[in-house]
Amino acid sequence: MNRIIFLLGVSFAVINTSVAQNYFTKNGMLSFFSKSALENITAVNNQVVSVLNTTTGETKFSMTIKGFKFKKALMQEHFNENYMESDKYP
């Protein structure tokens, strides 16, 4: 009986330590900067969701392309319509 209890205890301990610890946030921020001869381009997206797996070090994030905000509306329009095709690939 003691052996069965011991084996169950060890099994639960092993199962508990093998479970990955994940950290999750809905308050992420992603930005990019592009240096250009005519004008520098900067955009910020505050609608980022991310997950960090502390066991593997793997990081995943997700956002909508239309969530990027630019300094100039024309830059944002060109980015969404000409480069990223945001209506087709949100």
Domain ranges (residues) in the chain: 22-90
Calpha distance 84→78 (Å, rounded): 9
> For residue 89, what pLDDT is reported?
80
Structure token digits, residue 58: 């793997």
What's the CA gap between 44 and 22, in Å, rounded?
Answer: 25
Q: Per-residue pLDDT averaged across 20-26, rounded?
A: 85
Instruction: Give the position of tokens 């990027």.
Output: 68
Is the pLDDT at 65 greater than 70? The verdict is yes
Which among 80, 83, 82 has a CA at the least distance from the CA of 68? 80
Task: Flag whether the pTM goes above 0.85.
Answer: no
